[in-house]
Structure 1
């Protein structure tokens, strides 16, 4: 009789691809996400099942990215950027319009090309600086800035300020980590402040309304200020211990708009309170810290820049989402990472975590 092979030796090579600390942190966030979605998704048939599917898809993307060596990621950087920008141009010319925004394109399937740039942008810039590792001077930073501005402008024209912010942040982190001088950063900041009147005049009406609503949401409490007012009520009413799972009144009485997507943090805060928020924020800090540690120990400039930018991208996601739900930032449609409902964001973030795991895993292989 043929001998039966033990199960663990068969699956071990596939599971050891995952980085232990990162995997534990991500699974804990996924667990909190499922518990929160069970409560927030009441009244949305099939929402919990779809959310679980998105989590599993994210884990699959994570595993695929973790299997890819950094050398392959470098080879994909330029094609991914060119394809992404080409699709953004296609969106501008003949994209699909939904709810007044032209963000999608049909290429056999309907996709949102701006999501590609969240990963393609840091890949491209990390590749660019790797190729010029020994001669990074101001002309290289100028070229990198142009490479960053092209997709950001195309995304802002859709208009999609939230995604444009994330793409801008992911690219800027690479440029900053590559050694952008502080004098230039301060100069750019001062120039940005001076250009605010021009930027204000170029904003769409709904974008200006969001800024004014941030300043005084009570000016239109049943209209434009409704989101912020109800979310801040939910966060404050949770107190320190929270109202308890499934006992959040703002969420279950449907006062919180978009409670499974952009405003899921308000549902979580109401039910789990300050204690729950501290736990969730600690998990995000651990995730970011682990990513930055991987970046610090990466063997090449490409890997260091890419890992650092992806880690800080998670910070941007969490900070912007929590800020807008808490009423300290304008509402720009940025999901809470690994928590908010949405398949595209889960795929993008899964790829980001998988790339971090790839950099860590192949560093160990090189050392051994």
Structure 2
């Protein structure tokens, strides 16, 4: 399986100028090729676009494209070809996942990148040599497990520089402590496990408040001004702080869960539908549930674990995890429930996590009781003391 290893580096002034020239050339090649694709009746493939690029270098308007390595320029055309294929496959239903839009033009203020194939870079004595750029010294926070097949130089919106390597890694066989675990995801309490443990989500409120304030300030500033450019950079740095905090939290949590459990079970959440609630949309978007699921799935493949996602329509919060009795829908402010059938008292999220684990591992609910209570009852109210024991805030 393939994996990415990213390292930050600090270029010299000369290297920064060379990288800026390279990023600009890659951006121009992408935008020119995309404009040709949008104007053409029949979509040109990679070979046609590559021939057009060769002809463009001979013209006076684009002769400066020859001052940088040709490999990143060709890789930009390959990436555009793949982007269009993914777009058409997504539109025709051949590609799973969220519907993809058509490729868009690249902007100078957004993240910049340039990909080098194996013929255009070399790693030697801790230094990465890029064609027509020179030797870069990344901060090696960990060793590369194998020789990389490609490397991408990245400059993000906050002017930070990274090198991202693609390497081939072998699955690691590690004995698991537990057989399986079900995970119920939330906002304040990010994850509630079927074994009763809970993980609180990091607080992003401080950076989020600053971003809101700066975004209002940015909206009032004149486009193209130095003040607007400075404010945009401040917003990008705050977004990076949130993203780095979230990424560190999700990586550590997913690694711990996958290394300790043989089977990991999650619920297929309808995030796109949940963010339509304008009161919770911002909080839900900050959690990174989709990223957590992708990390768990990738690390399960790496460590030889089983990864399951149950149907989003499973009534995990409406069924007793002990006896299978279905009590129906509950209001979100109801956090503790007592089963009418077995008198067991459950924490709402922990009960849902146990049900997720049971459904994911093939242990279905009691079919007799499910048939008897087939209809979903009305939402329980706080006044129903026989069903609710503690209406606590989440």
Output the TM-score relative to the length of structure 2.
0.23
* Bigger strand fraction: 2
Identify, as 1 or 2, the structure richer in helix. Answer: 1
Larger radius of gyration: 2
- Structure number with the bigger relative contact order (C-alpha 8 A, sep ≥ 6) is 1
